[in-house]
Amino acid sequence: MLTIGKLGAATGVKVPTIRWYEEVGLLPRAGRSVGGQRLYDEAARRRLAFIRHARELGFGLDAIRDLLSLADRPDQSCAAADAIARAQLAEVEARLARLRALKGELERMVEQCACGTIRDCRVIETLGDHGLCKGEHGGIASPLA
């Protein structure tokens, strides 16, 4: 049996995140020791590793919940799991296309900058007027948004 700290160390998942996964139902509630510490078995460690890996691949919580439900019933067809993975792949491909458009616009903006004064700066001018952009490049969320 693993305490929550040891489970976190074994899977690379922080303790608050483990507690949150329990709260949202991705990870079953842990049993408790006589002293009240959460205790996790090997199945919980494997499930948490699954969740972490799915998150690293960009799957959302609903998709992970569905995949875990499928994993809990190993004798059924994997068509549903395949469909979930294909949807995630399509989302990644769409994000890559938006990132390529964003990269192209940033390259064009930087290349057109004459490095003179701010008054004549193409970067500042373009950021102030979206109409100066060559194409659509929105949809990429900022880490600060």
Q: What is the pLDDT of residue 142?
A: 47
Q: Would you mind telling me the total number of residues written for the chain in this entry?
A: 145
Sorted by sequence, the CB contacts under 8 Å of residue 42 that are 6+ apart come out as none
List pLDDT tens digits, range 20-45. Answer: 999 999 999 988 988 888 899 999 99
Q: What is the pLDDT of residue 137?
A: 64
Segment among 19-28, 34-43, 91-100, 133-142 with least mean pLDDT? 133-142
List pLDDT tens digits, range 44-63. Answer: 999 999 999 999 999 999 99
Query: Are the C-beta atoms of residues 8 and 16 closer than 8 Å to each other?
Result: no
Query: Are the C-beta atoms of residues 29 and 22 closer than 8 Å to each other?
Result: yes
pTM of the model: 0.75
Segment among 16-20, 29-33, 82-86, 128-132 with least mean pLDDT? 128-132
Average pLDDT over residues 81-105: 94
Average pLDDT over residues 115-140: 74
